[in-house]
Amino acid sequence: MIRIEHLTRDFGGGRGIHDLSMEIPKGKIFGYIGPNGAGKSTTIKILCGLYSQTSGRAFINNLEVTPANAKRIKKIVGYMPDNFGVYDKMSVWEYLDFFCAAYHIPPKARQKRVQEVLALTNSQHMLDYQVASLSKGMTQRIGLAKTLLHDPEVLILDEPASGLDPYARIEMRQTIMRLRDIGKTIMLSSHILPELAGVCDLIGILEKGRLLAFGTVDEVTRQVQENLKLSVSIVSGMERAQQVFADFPEVQNLECNGNEMHFRFNGPRGKLPDILTRLVANGVSVAEFREEHADLEEVFLSVTHHN
């Protein structure tokens, strides 16, 4: 649904984005991760037709993003920036009805469409609220409802959970997943890394305008993890287990916590069965031997070399 080929926007002095290439399939949630100034917003604005690229190409549903196609692109894409304007003196109904008119939705169809987008964002109870009275979380949900009015196939959301309290972030995450379930393709920029890990099908890590990693969370983790984190649950034979681990120089940072042993393994995966075999041969009763996957924050720090 979104395809980027060698996309570059050069602002000079190394700023901008450089030779980005990636594909986001239909009906998937893509999490775009990077520090401030990495180029996330530049990429987003090119996809929305708000910036032009220096070189490279971008496509949305096989339609190239060019000035000539700007009107058609805007029908396909719903863009919610991190900060968007609201009209404080309007009610939520008036606010959404106004944008229905801006999207050229016929007057007779507007009431139904407003009710549909409020239902999608679980905001029906706000219909008669004054916009000025809305909390940050409510405002974000109404902003998303506005973005959905013209029923876009692709949603590009820049920091939709920024500034929200934990409960509001949960609601936003649930809403985004509902939108995916009805077939929307979603590009989601965020600094709240645990939120992305729980909701995204794909992630991309950007720094200084360059895409350092792309894939599912598990794929990116496997690409960047320098050594493995493992845990072993011991039923009996803890002292013998410690002696076995001491015979493997690849085992590092061994920690014991009750019947649990945690360590890093800096060696080939093919050698892990040797450890388990040695434990059993030495009379250690093992309940579980498992790999602990790095969380998204660890992956981000590893990829960007900030660890």
Q: In this predicted structure, what is the pLDDT of residue 195?
A: 66
* pLDDT by position in tens, the chain (length 307): 999 999 999 998 888 999 999 999 999 999 998 888 889 999 999 999 899 999 999 999 999 999 999 999 999 999 998 877 777 889 999 999 999 999 999 999 999 999 999 999 999 999 999 988 988 888 889 999 999 999 999 999 988 887 778 788 888 889 999 999 999 999 998 776 666 777 899 999 888 899 988 988 777 776 655 567 889 999 999 999 999 999 999 898 899 999 999 998 887 777 888 999 999 999 999 999 988 766 566 666 666 665 5
Contact (CB, 8 A) for 81 and 87: no
Q: In this predicted structure, what is the pLDDT of residue 292?
A: 75
CATH 3.30.70.100 fits 225-303, yes or no: yes
Contact (CB, 8 A) for 99 and 146: yes
Burial group, residue 72, by CB count within 10 angstroms (0-12, 13-18, 19+): middle
Query: Taking the mean position of all CA atoms in its chain, how far away is CA 111?
Result: 32
Kindly list the distances between the CA atom of residue 16 and the CA atoms of 43, 260, 263, in Å, as whole numbers in the listed order.
9, 47, 40
Contact (CB, 8 A) for 49 and 70: yes
What whole-number distance in Å separates Cα of residue 94 and Cα of residue 109? 14
Classify residue 269 by its DSSP letter: G
Spatial CB neighbours of 188, under 8 Å, sequence gap ≥ 6:
29, 30, 31, 32, 157, 160, 176, 196, 199, 200
Spatial CB neighbours of 80, under 8 Å, sequence gap ≥ 6:
143, 144, 146, 147, 155, 156, 157, 158, 160
| Tokens (6 digits) for 134 | 């809305």
Q: In this predicted structure, what is the pLDDT of residue 304?
A: 64
Contact (CB, 8 A) for 238 and 245: no
CATH number of 2-222: 3.40.50.300
DSSP lists the bridge partners of residue 23 as 3
> Tokens 């993890």 belong to which residue?
225
Q: In this predicted structure, what is the pLDDT of residue 112?
A: 95
Q: How many residues does the chain have?
A: 307
Q: In this predicted structure, what is the pLDDT of residue 295?
A: 59
| Tokens (6 digits) for 243 | 């002696």
Q: Where are the domains of the chain?
A: 2-222, 225-303
Q: For the chain, list the strands marked E by DSSP.
A: 2-12, 15-24, 29-33, 55-60, 63-64, 77-80, 154-158, 185-189, 202-207, 210-215, 228-236, 251-257, 260-265, 285-292
Q: In this predicted structure, what is the pLDDT of residue 199?
A: 86
Strands 55-60 and 2-12: antiparallel
Fold match, 2-222 / 225-303: no
